[in-house]
């Protein structure tokens, strides 16, 4: 006789299963996979209708995905989210327009606004409350963005690394379309934008090592080691990439998402040194080490890229892994200090001078753990301990 689960426990297990079914149904119907013709691909690894990494496995696979889902319910750190919103500085359009050239602002997760050559450039814009296809479920952001899409000035170009929900948000893209001159995307990702209603003449798509020039800025799509897809059925149908931005006075690298691989050294040799590297630092685990970097690899990637100042991104906004939310920045700060790497950790909404980045404060330590008496608002920011660099 088969042993049955207790009714209460069985119901509990039905909740994530039902949500997964809803996710698959929604994303498969409303997010059909683009079909990238083989003749458009020349530099990346593309066969059998899918893109592949040059090194390492592209994703967990079905069994790995099931295990990751199970661990997210059974092994997640109780400190994976802050108790209250993390410190952020509000921004206005007037602030941005008055700011000097060669500035950048972290707006959340991997969303970075840059002011280069007198124009504004925006990476992986996600202004939604959740990194999910469903507005009522999925990773919820730790704080509202420091500025709304409506308040942003005209954007010269939106620069996209890949199509995962924490990097590409449907509603954000459509809200930006009217005020954005160009959308630069890896192969296939641009097809998604056009299907959503972004004018085709605003969208440019790139294979690895392809580039364009917009005004005084040169932009190059460079390799990354990751994967793509917005449903269980469209995996790796679109390309993923990192980006090199070359202005007359500075060079900036944006990693998007990537595991550690030899491509960082190749990019550094070809385009370095970089004044600032914006490198992934967060949502890591040994089970998916091929596609997301641990903090020591974040620092090594920066060194390989011949970077001068490291700005860790992909942290402080969404709960996407099993570790404590403060762990990525705590670890990368300690490792950068050990390896004498210049680290900059601006608060969300804080302007950073690309030519002389200030180290910043350890703002993530201004949010005490659950149960700890805490100061809020501006006083919390002032109370944060100094960064080790």
CATH number for 304: 3.60.15.10
pLDDT of 15 reads 43
Tokens encoding 162: 């890949």
Alpha carbon distance 317, 74 (integer Å): 22
What's the CA gap between 52 and 49, in Å, rounded? 10
pLDDT attached to residue 50: 93
pLDDT in tens, 292-304: 999 999 999 999 9
Is residue 47 a part of any domain in this protein? no
Query: Please, what's the b/e burial string for 2-23 (b: 16 or more CB within 10 A of its CB; e: otherwise)?
Result: eeeeeeeeeeeeeeeeeeeeeb
Contact between 107 and 167 (Cβ < 8 Å): no
So what's the pLDDT on residue 72? 57
Residue 75 counted as domain residue: no
Residue 54 has pLDDT above 50, yes or no: yes
- Does 162 reside within a domain? yes
Asked whether the predicted pLDDT for residue 27 surpasses 50, the reply is no
For residue range 131-170, list pLDDT tens digits in order: 999 888 999 999 999 999 999 999 999 999 999 999 999 9
Flag whether 322 is in a domain. yes
pLDDT single digits (tens) 180-223: 999 999 999 999 999 999 999 999 999 999 999 999 999 999 99
Could you list the residue range(s) of the whole structural domain that residue 179 is in? Answer: 93-383
More confident residue, 24 or 216: 216
Q: Return d(Cα 51, Cα 45) in angstroms, integer.
A: 6
* pLDDT of the residue at 213: 98
Asked if the structure places residue 267 within a domain, the reply is yes
Which whole number is the average pLDDT over 315-322?
95
Q: How many CB atoms lie within 10 A of CB 359?
A: 17
In a domain, 9, yes or no: no
List all residues 6 or more positions away from 38 whose beta carbon is below 8 Å from its beta carbon.
46
Instruction: For residue 51, tell me if it sits in a domain.
Output: no
Residue 192 belongs to some domain of the structure? yes
Could you give the strand order of the β-sheet that contains 119-123, starting from the edge strand earlier in sequence? 203-206, 180-186, 155-159, 119-123, 111-116, 103-108, 351-353
pLDDT at 368: 44
- Confidence (pLDDT) at 156: 98
Q: Could you give the number of structural domains in the chain?
A: 1
Distance CA 381, CA 149 (A): 25
């Amino acid at each position: 006789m088969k042993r049955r689960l207790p009714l209460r426990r069985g119901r509990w297990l039905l909740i994530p299963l039902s949500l997964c079914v809803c996710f698959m149904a929604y994303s498969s119907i409303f997010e059909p996979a683009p079909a990238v013709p083989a003749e458009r691909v020349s530099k990346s690894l593309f066969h059998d209708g899918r893109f592949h990494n040059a090194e390492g496995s592209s994703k967990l696979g079905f069994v790995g995905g099931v295990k990751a889902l199970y661990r997210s319910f059974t092994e997640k750190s109780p400190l994976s989210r802050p108790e209250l919103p993390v410190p952020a500085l509000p921004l206005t359009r007037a602030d941005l327009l008055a700011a000097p050239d060669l500035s950048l602002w972290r707006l959340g997760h991997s969303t970075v606004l840059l002011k280069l050559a007198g124009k504004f450039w925006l990476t992986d814009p996600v202004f939604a409350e959740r990194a999910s296809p469903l507005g009522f479920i999925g990773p919820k952001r730790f704080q509202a963005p420091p500025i709304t899409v409506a308040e942003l000035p005209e954007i010269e170009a939106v620069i996209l690394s890949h199509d995962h929900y924490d990097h590409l948000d449907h509603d954000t893209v459509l809200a930006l379309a009217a005020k954005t001159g160009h959308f630069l995307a890896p192969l296939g990702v641009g097809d998604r934008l056009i299907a959503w209603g972004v004018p085709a003449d605003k969208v440019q798509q790139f294979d690895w090592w392809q580039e364009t020039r917009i005004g005084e800025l040169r932009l190059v799509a460079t390799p990354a080691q990751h994967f793509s897809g917005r449903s269980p059925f469209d995996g790796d149908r679109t390309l993923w990439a990192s980006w090199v931005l070359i202005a007359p006075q500075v060079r900036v690298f944006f990693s998007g998402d990537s595991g550690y691989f030899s491509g960082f050294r190749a990019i550094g040799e070809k385009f370095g040194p970089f004044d600032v590297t914006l490198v992934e630092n967060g949502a890591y685990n040994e089970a998916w080490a091929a596609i997301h970097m641990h903090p020591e690899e974040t620092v090594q990637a920066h060194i390989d890229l011949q970077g001068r100042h490291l700005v860790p991104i992909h942290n402080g906004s969404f709960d996407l892994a099993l570790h404590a939310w403060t762990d990525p920045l705590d670890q990368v700060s300690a490792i950068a200090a050990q390896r004498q790497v210049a680290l900059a950790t601006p608060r969300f909404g804080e302007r950073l001078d690309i030519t002389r980045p200030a180290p910043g404060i350890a703002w993530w330590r201004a949010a005490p753990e659950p149960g700890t008496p805490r100061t809020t608002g501006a006083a919390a920011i002032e109370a944060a301990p100094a960064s080790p660099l």
